[in-house]
């Protein structure tokens, strides 16, 4: 055998052994905070010793002893925990276990989850209907516009005297719901609440956060800009004649795996339902509160949302039993509609949630008399058919900020915290040291959203109490989503060393690009395996390991807007709580923290307020045409600081703001038509 061939074989064998070691040592593949909890899970440990090793020079920087091993019945594994919370160094490291080897690398540092937060939020941009995704913002995942939805037919099930069957309406914008190209009001409901709640609960962090979307730097937070794309679609789904809301905007059947612009089936709005209408009312009431602060930039939109919410509430109150039943609808009307049903057997929780939001926005106690969002709340992990907890959280967070007459906030808080205390206890009893998996019923379709929503509740509990136990329990579920789980996957596409590559997502399957669209939280382990009949193959039936990274696995490997939303909320909350400033980092590339296309600093001016005379510094990774501009909070161009072709390397421009009135401003850097970054400045 040739020597080179022998070395090749030995190299491959070493790689296999390294991968096997990484599979047996489960870590958060993104990383940990210097002062935060840091744990890994070791499967079938060969010894009790472990160490933390620097990726830079291979030196051992920390040693420890594994905890006692125990079996996790949901995965059938013998697991021991390596706790290295006492190590507070920064850098890139691996966990090494005697007799096994080393884990995937991970980072320890401030802002460690910021790039994942940016990707998780930007996933909504990639899901936008009715617009092209330009290379400047989408990179290699650019695509043509799909589904203008300017010619949408009223389905026979939704026909009225004023809008008979096949009436043409416009219903553009919105997000594709999941791996398919349809748009659903019910699932938009919980998604929008969660993202709007992130704006309400973490306002400073949300205001400063940039993801690199076309609207970045327009004086409105990127998170809110993204929300507006779907909000304006939702407004088109309300019948202006009676206030009822169509259940969904959809094809008759699911599209194949083609790009959005190649999917041209007729689109319909179908039957109005009480659940869709109440979800709509709740979101519009909440949006009216949030948007009020942006009246100068969005004149009249808050009022429009409130009017729409009131009309929807009136329709739902007059039609409380009109639930969506797709089977019955298809029996009575043509054509048959066979896309996601989002059916629900009761609207009681939707009434409670909508009543809470309507009350908080209007102050009218009559909404609380019509529903009982705090009398005997069904507090559980939120999901689209179980939304009562959303109203509870809104009431509790509002009560923390100001008195809420008519609401027994103390009693409601006690019951909510009791639920969260149960989540904390489940973490303490878990062989993996995570909240997720307190029972096999956590592992359902979209189980990773269960983990994320458990963490959301815990973050709310932390906001209400400032108790570290809640924050640490929430972090444990973030660790779970990012690699410390029984599959060994970091479930966010594009982030981690072992991530889903074949998600059930039509664009990712049709665009000819090996990497899936980044930032999606895959559905996660689902022992029901409803997709086996359609070709999905699973290596295990155990609840915590029942996951398949293949396109056919819609039951475990699809993406969905309501799964990413709690991930965004939790990442914003944890970053705000544990990062050094409570704000996003000064210099973060919009795509990846480890491979930023440019750096952008406001030197000597962090945190705000900034000096009247400051320096704007930036660095380019390649020569590019640069435009450096200043905008006010309404998005109006104030001045251009610099423009022209710049060489690779560092550049600096002085900005004299002494002639500007006090207020909020944004400095925007555009480089080469592909990279944009903005920094918010508060001038006092």
Question: What positions carry a catalytic annotation?
Answer: 180, 504, 549, 558
Residue with tokens 């970091």: 490
DSSP class per residue in 470-491: HHHHHHHHHHHHTT-STT----
At residue 7, φ and ψ (nearest 5 deg) are -60, -35
Residue with tokens 């509609």: 337
Q: Is residue 373 a contact partner of residue 355, using CB atoms and an 8 Å limit?
A: yes
Burial of 498 (0-12, 13-18, 19+ CB in 10 A): middle
How distant, in Å, are the alpha carbons of 47, 120, 670 from that of 141? 45, 15, 20
Residue from 436, 544, 569, 560 nearest 486 by CA: 544
For residue 614, what are the contacts with CB-CB under 8 A and spacing of at least 6?
Answer: 602, 603, 604, 605, 654, 655, 657
Residue with tokens 């161009």: 637
Alpha helices in 432-549 (DSSP H): 447-465, 468-481, 506-510
At residue 64, φ and ψ (nearest 5 deg) are -160, 180
Q: The tokens of 491 are what?
A: 């479930």
Cβ neighbour number for residue 617 with a 10 Å cutoff = 16
Cβ neighbour number for residue 225 with a 10 Å cutoff = 19
Q: The tokens of 481 are what?
A: 């989503």
Alpha helices in 545-585 (DSSP H): 561-578
**How many Å apart are CA 347 and CA 275, to the nearest integer?**
6
Dihedral sign, CA of 448, 449, 450, 455?
positive
């Amino acid at each position: 055998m040739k020597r080179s061939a022998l070395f090749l074989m030995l190299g491959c064998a070493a790689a296999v052994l390294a991968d096997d070691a990484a599979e047996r040592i489960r870590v958060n593949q993104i990383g940990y905070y210097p002062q935060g909890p840091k744990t890994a899970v070791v499967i079938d440990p060969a010894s009790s010793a472990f160490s933390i090793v620097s990726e830079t020079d291979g030196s051992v920087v920390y040693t420890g002893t594994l905890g006692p091993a125990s079996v996790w019945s949901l995965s059938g594994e013998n697991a021991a925990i390596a706790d290295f919370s006492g190590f507070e160094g920064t850098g890139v490291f691996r966990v090494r276990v005697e007799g096994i080897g080393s884990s995937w690398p991970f980072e320890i540092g401030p802002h460690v989850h910021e790039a994942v937060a940016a990707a998780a939020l930007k996933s909504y941009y990639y899901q936008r209907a009715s617009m092209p995704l330009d290379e400047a913002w989408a990179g290699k995942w650019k695509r043509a516009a799909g589904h203008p939805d300017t010619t949408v037919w009223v389905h026979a099930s939704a026909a009225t005297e004023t809008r008979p069957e096949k009436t043409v309406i416009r219903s553009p914008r919105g997000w594709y719901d999941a791996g398919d190209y349809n748009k659903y009001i019910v699932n938009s409901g919980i998604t929008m609440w969660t993202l709007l709640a992130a704006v309400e609960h973490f306002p400073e962090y949300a205001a400063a956060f940039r993801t690199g979307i076309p609207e970045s730097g327009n004086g409105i937070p990127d998170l809110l800009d993204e929300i507006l794309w779907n909000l304006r679609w939702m407004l088109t789904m309300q019948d202006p004649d009676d206030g009822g809301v169509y259940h969904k905007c959809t094809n008759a059947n699911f599209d194949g795996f083609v790009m959005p612009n190649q999917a041209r089936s007729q689109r319909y709005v179908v039957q109005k339902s009480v659940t869709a209408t109440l979800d709509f009312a709740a979101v519009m009431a909440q949006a009216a509160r949030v948007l009020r602060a942006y009246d100068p930039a969005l004149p009249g939109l808050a009022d429009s949302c409130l009017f729409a919410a009131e009309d929807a509430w009136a329709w739902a109150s007059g039609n409380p039993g009109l639930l969506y039943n797709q089977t019955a609808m298809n029996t009575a009307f043509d054509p048959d509609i066979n896309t996601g049903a989002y059916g629900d057997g009761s609207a009681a929780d939707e009434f409670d949630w909508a009543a809470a939001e309507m009350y908080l926005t209007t102050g009218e106690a009559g909404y609380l008399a019509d529903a009982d969002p705090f009398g005997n709340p069904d507090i559980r992990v939120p999901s689209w058919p179980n939304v009562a907890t959303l109203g509870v959280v809104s009431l509790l967070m509002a009560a923390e900020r100001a008195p809420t007459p008519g609401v027994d906030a103390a009693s409601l808080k006690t019951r909510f915290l009791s639920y969260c205390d149960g989540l904390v206890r489940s973490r303490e009893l878990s062989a993996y040291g995570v909240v997720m998996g307190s029972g096999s019923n956590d592992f359902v379709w979209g189980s990773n959203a269960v983990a994320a929503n458990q963490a959301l509740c815990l973050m709310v509990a932390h906001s209400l109490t400032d108790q570290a136990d809640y924050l640490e329990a929430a972090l444990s579920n973030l660790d779970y989503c990012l690699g410390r789980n029984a599959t060994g996957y970091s479930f966010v596409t594009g982030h981690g060393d072992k991530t889903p590559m074949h998600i059930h997502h039509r664009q990712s399957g049709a665009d000819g690009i090996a990497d899936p669209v980044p930032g999606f939280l895959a559905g996660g382990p689902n022992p029901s395996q409803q997709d086996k009949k359609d070709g999905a193959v699973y290596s295990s039936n155990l609840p915590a390991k029942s996951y398949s990274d293949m396109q056919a696995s819609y039951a475990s490997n699809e993406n969905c807007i309501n799964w990413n939303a709690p991930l965004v909320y939790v990442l914003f909350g944890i970053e705000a709580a544990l990062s050094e400033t409570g704000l996003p980092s000064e210099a973060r590339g919009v795509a990846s923290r480890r491979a930023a296309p440019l750096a952008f600093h406001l030197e000597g001016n962090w945190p705000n307020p900034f000096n009247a005379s400051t320096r704007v510094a930036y660095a380019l990774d390649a020569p590019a045409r640069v435009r450096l501009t200043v905008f006010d909070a309404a998005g109006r161009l104030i001045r251009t600081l610099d423009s022209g072709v710049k060489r690779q390397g560092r550049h600096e421009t002085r900005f004299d703001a002494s002639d500007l009135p006090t207020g909020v401003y944004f400095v925007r850097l555009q480089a080469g038509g592909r990279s944009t970054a903005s920094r918010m400045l508060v001038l006092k």
